[in-house]
Structure 1
Amino acid sequence: MKPSFARPELKNQTGNNKTYKSVIGCLDGTVPILRNTKEFNVNSQFFAEKYFHPLLADSPGTHIAGVRSLNGPFHGVEALFDAYNQFIEPDQASYSQIYIGSGLNNQVNFISAGFMINPSFFRDGRIWSYGFWKGKDGKGCYNTACSGFVQVSSEIPIVKPIDNLKPGEPVWWRCSVHQDKNTGNWWITQLIPNAPYKVDIGYWPKELFNLLNNGSNMAGVGGVVQASRSNSSPQMGNGKYPDKRYKNTAIFANIEVLDSNYKQRRWDYFPWEELLDCSKFYRISYGYEAYLYEHTQFGFYFNYGGPGGNTCGI
């Protein structure tokens, strides 16, 4: 149960801050699965139906700060990114995510993975890792709350809360969503900083989709927030506007895609566009070849975020 297409090993990645990893050690032949209540399963279906994705021209109450490319087909996307503890109201949400997708007429196929704070979904204000898919016949789901995603790793679950972060301390994750060249399944792989290995967490079977058989038309990364019913949008990133000091705000770095020939390309190899629909409260700042720490090369990167507010509209 491993992908036939191997992701490259990582070198010279940051280890100075907390990195997302799990110390779960399951018995041989078993995998970690989040225990789901009936209420959680209902919530999963509700949020799957309402889930924002950048293939939509309009997504009421949702604001985004990120980048995307429509010059597919792509067979994968990956990035190094961080997340911060924030106060999010019970009917708000904040995400940092990588994603791929394709659309045709009124149909959408979509896969995303990253971090989220969503009190209505998880019933707490912690950061959680997550994966999401939307496929043929309009079906979709988070994590392992319903049939779809196949958990393979016995150590790292696709969904997990992040605890014990100090104020202002980020949690880091470098992960890849990529299509297996032989099977057509879509894998999520955690690329471990400062370690000579990677972890294939699991996969979404190709049978879930009807528009992703030969790659995706779109790939992207960014931050997303969901406003409350009163039209109050929450903080994005770490709640600060990005400035020239790229260490101070949330970041996506080392953004790369797999092209139509499964060749790994830096993000700016392809034409891309900025997605920013509320510049009053959220902003983006770009850079190239920066070094966060002494041995951490960032390649193409962007900082993003902001404090949120009440006047962006829905």
Structure 2
Amino acid sequence: MHYGVKSLISVHNPSVELYQASMSEMWVQNGWGDQLNGLQAGWIVSPELNEDNHTRLFVLSTRDGYNTSCFTTLCNHFVQTSGTYPVDSELTQISIYEGDEYTLELSIYRDNVTSNWWLLAKGTEKIGYWPKELFPQLNDGALYVAWGGLVTSPPNHPSAPMGNGRRPVDPLSFKRAAYFRDLHVVDASSAYKDPDEKEFQVYTDDRSYCYGMVNAGYVQTMGHTILYGGPGGNDCGP
């Protein structure tokens, strides 16, 4: 069982159309079927949600196995506590291909006293929390944690780009692909631990020209790192 996740997420601004969205996120889940509870946080580009093409912080949660879900503070799933770090903040420092890199440091963890799940930025900035009463399946921890990219597009439309819009070429192509680095999980004592390599499973689109993911393992100065992303396109939808 896990009690949180942490990572530094490279920040990008993929080009998406009006009803597309591109997300880079980490999440915790527990439960099955309609009883699944899930909490997600990361960055998103979504003209429909945010009414712009900017890269923004976001959270997403579900109480019923994603039959329904809630973004940011559009419902009562997430309680904003920070007056200086809105949960839909624009991220203005964008990584440049083969150039400067910028990251978003986020943590999701369960408070051992209240059992509420908190979202932290930059290690110590409490952005807000998900109340335990709304997510009973997570009160004893998360069976499943993950890091990765997700895109959405309307039916019969091209699939949106993911990450920086490029597939990772090799495990060390940090300036050419989107990545999550310094991956950690939280144990029962609230300590950050390196993830167990034996527990890692990689899930990608079976059409490798659409999207890809590379588990780079532990990299010196970067910690445990995964690279991901891809262009999407006409043949990449469901």
- Contact 2:110–2:116, Cα closer than 8 Å, also in 1: yes
Q: TM-score, normalised by structure 2?
A: 0.88
**Residues 233-252 of structure 1 aligned to structure 2 (within 5 Å):** 233-244=159-170, 245-252=173-180
Partner of 2:224: 300
Shift of 1:280: 2.4
1:190 corresponds to 2:121? yes
Give per-residue Cα distances to partners, 1:198-217, cap 9 Å, x unaligned. 21111111011121110011
Task: Give the Cα–Cα distance (whole angstroms) in 2 for the partners of residues 246 and 139 of structure 1.
Answer: 35
Question: Which secondary structure does the structure 2 equivalent of 1:162 belong to?
Answer: coil
**Greater Rg over alpha carbons, structure:** 1
- Contact 2:155–2:237, Cα closer than 8 Å, also in 1: no
Of 71, 76, 81, the match for 1:142: 71
Q: Which amino acid aligns with 2:112?
A: K
Partner of 2:141: 215
Q: Which amino acid aligns with 1:210?
A: P
Task: Give the Cα–Cα distance (whole angstroms) in 2 for the partners of residues 76 and 167 of structure 1.
Answer: 30
**Residues 141-290 of structure 1 aligned to structure 2 (within 5 Å):** 141-163=70-92, 165=94, 168=97, 171-191=102-122, 198-244=124-170, 245-277=173-205, 278-290=207-219
Task: Give the Cα–Cα distance (whole angstroms) in 1 for the partners of residues 155 and 202 of structure 2.
Answer: 27
Of 61, 74, 80, the match for 2:8: 80
Gaps of 5+ in 2: none
- Contact 2:179–2:227, Cα closer than 8 Å, also in 1: yes
Give per-residue Cα distances to partners, 1:114-147, cap 9 Å, x unaligned. 0001111112111110112222696642222222
- Contact 2:23–2:150, Cα closer than 8 Å, also in 1: yes
- Contact 1:85–1:167, Cα closer than 8 Å, also in 2: no
Aligned residues: 232
- Contact 2:93–2:102, Cα closer than 8 Å, also in 1: no
Give per-residue Cα distances to partners, 1:251-302, cap 9 Å, x unaligned. 01111111345442212355121010242211112223435xxxxx111101
What RMSD over aligned residues (CA atoms) do the two structures have, in Å?
2.2
Q: TM-score, normalised by structure 1?
A: 0.68
- Contact 1:115–1:127, Cα closer than 8 Å, also in 2: yes
Question: Which secondary structure does the structure 2 equivalent of 1:121 belong to?
Answer: helix
Percent identical residues: 30
Gaps of 5+ in 1: 1-72, 193-197, 292-296
Shift of 1:238: 0.7
Q: Which amino acid aligns with 1:85?
A: N
Task: Give the Cα–Cα distance (whole angstroms) in 2 for the partners of residues 231 and 162 of structure 1.
Answer: 27
Partner of 1:92: 20
Give per-residue Cα distances to partners, 1:153-209, cap 9 Å, x unaligned. 2221111123374864654211100000011000001125xxxxx211111110111
Question: Which secondary structure does the structure 2 equivalent of 1:307 belong to?
Answer: coil
